Structure formats: structure tokens, C-alpha cells
Amino acid sequence: MSAHQATPTAVLLLSCRDRRGLVAAVSDFIFRHRGNIVHADQHADPEEDLFIQRVEWQLDGFDLDRQEIAGAFNVVARRLGIAWSLHFSDELPRVALMASKLPHCLYDLLVRWRLGELRAEISLVVSNHREVEPIAREFDVPFHHLPVSRETKDECEERLIELLDETDIDLVVLARYMQILTDRVIDRYAHRILNIHHSFLPAFAGGRPYHQAHHRGVKLIGATAHYATAELDEGPIIDQDVARVSHRDSVGDLVRKGRELEKVVLARAVRLHLEQRVVVYGNKTIVFD
């Protein structure tokens, strides 16, 4: 926890049609119950007539038990037509990491988790190959091998759903998992499956983007973290970054530089999601960083 979070905090994420008095109403609710706001940020989208807010306050001194907050705030929410969710900083989300043969994103996330940079419980690692099993073992995380093929895809997806449900997973991170998930998985965990694409989307979507970029002679390459949707590589974008390249760079150089970007961008996106800083609306996100 950061310095201001020496005691647990509560986070409200809310959205509704824009109107006067929304910030005042939420602030007044927290004030009337003796809460101390430590972060508050909001965004109004005039094109969509939409108001989105993230507000975080300390639970120390708040005169409602955490079990009572939802019911009390719902009175305000119903009156103003607010859609909302409530989270607590000391309740660790349960995360599943999925990877194929390339281990760089998986290893990076596990290292950051061990160092305390990601406030979560990484509950399992799933792969369609056994190459990353030693990494999971190194970090004492249960490993599950699902050997996906055309013949076994349905069976493996059914087992994946069972694993995620049995472990009560809150977030699935595709850390260079090179299989396409079907709609039944995507829909079941809507906006809870986070993917890293080794391209600055929407440019060079699909496979082998570094080869596409090299062939095109680009001067910038990038990486994109987004929520997985049924439309491949079209989900709401959480974070992106770029690196400069030149005619001197080979495909191998682009791949090497790209992998560094992938690790950083994915880790940032995971942290933002875990800290309840991302709100999805339509096919876009508001990121309160």
C-alpha cells in the first residue's frame, strides 16, 4: 500500500448520464459518514452524455461497516440513476496467468508480484505447453497444462472454465497466450480478460506484427494492452507504448525491443485494473491513473 493507504480504503467506480450535482452527492455521502477522501477523479463525455467517476476514501473513522456501505450508497445511486461498483483495497483479487511458449511477460508479472508491485493473489498459471511450467513452480504457483488442439479445444476450454470457477478468479491475464478464446469464455469473464498485443493497435493486428512492421519500414513499434472481446484484437484499450526503430533494425531487433514494451505495458495495465482505475464504456476505457 502507498503511504495514504496505511489503513484500508474503499473505492467507488460509477457512471451515469451527466447532470448537475453528481460530484456533490457522492462527496456528501462520504462526508456525512465521516469519510476522508484521498483520491477523486471524474470525466464527462459530452458526446455520450456520460459522467464517470472514481472516488477513494479511508475506512478508518468511516461510520459504516463495509457490509453496510453498498446498501447505504444504493439509496443515492437509485435517486440519480448511477451504475456503480464498490471495492476495498485490502481484498486481494485472484488472478490467473495464461501463457504459451514465450515466457517474458509471465516471468515479469510473477517477479513484480513477488516484489509486491501487484496487489493480488496469483492463483494459477495455465498454458497449452509445458515450457513455462518450471517458471510457475519457481514461484510456487499451481500450474495446469491444457494441450489445446483443433480436436481438444472444446474440452480444454471446458476445463479452463472449471479451473477459473473453482479458483474464484477475478482477472485472467493473457501473458502471450497464443490461442484464441471462444465467445463462451470471453462472455463469461467480460472485461476481466486482459490481453497484450505485440503491436500498437489498430495497426498491424493479427499475427506476426513485427514482420509486418519491418516490411512496412515503420519508425515506431508499439504494444497494446486491452480487454479481450469476441472481435479479435478489437477490445477496449487500457495502455499502449511505443519505441523508436530505424532502417538499421532487423526483424530480430524489432522483436527484442517489442518484448520489452510488452512487459511494461502489460504490467501497467494489470496494475491499473487491480487498483480499480479502469472504467469501460462502449469499446473505450477511462483510465484514472
In which element (H, E) is residue 119 found? none
Q: What is the 3-state secondary structure (H, E, C) of 145-183?
A: ECCCCCCCHHHHHHHHHHHHHHCCCCEEEECCCCCCCCH
Catalytic residue among 63, 154, 165, 233: 233
At 4 the pLDDT is 42
Average pLDDT over residues 257-275: 96
Rounded to 10°, the helix 251-274/209-216 angle is 130
As a whole number of angstroms, the distance between CA 288 and CA 11 comes to 12
Q: Could you tell me if residue 183 is left (phi over 0), alpha (psi between -120 and 50 degrees) or otherwise beta?
A: alpha
> What topology does CATH give the domain 94-287?
Rossmann fold (3.40.50)
Mean pLDDT to the nearest integer, 192-201: 85
In the chain, where are the structural domains located?
3-88, 94-287
Question: What dotted CATH number matches 3-88?
Answer: 3.30.70.260
The predicted structure's pLDDT at residue 289 = 87
Tens-place pLDDT, residues 85-118: 999 999 999 999 999 999 999 999 999 999 999 9
DSSP, res 26: H
Active site residue 233: yes
Helix (H, G, I), strand (E, B) or coil at 113: helix
Whether the per-residue pLDDT at 20 is higher than 50: the answer is yes
pLDDT at 253 (0 to 100): 87
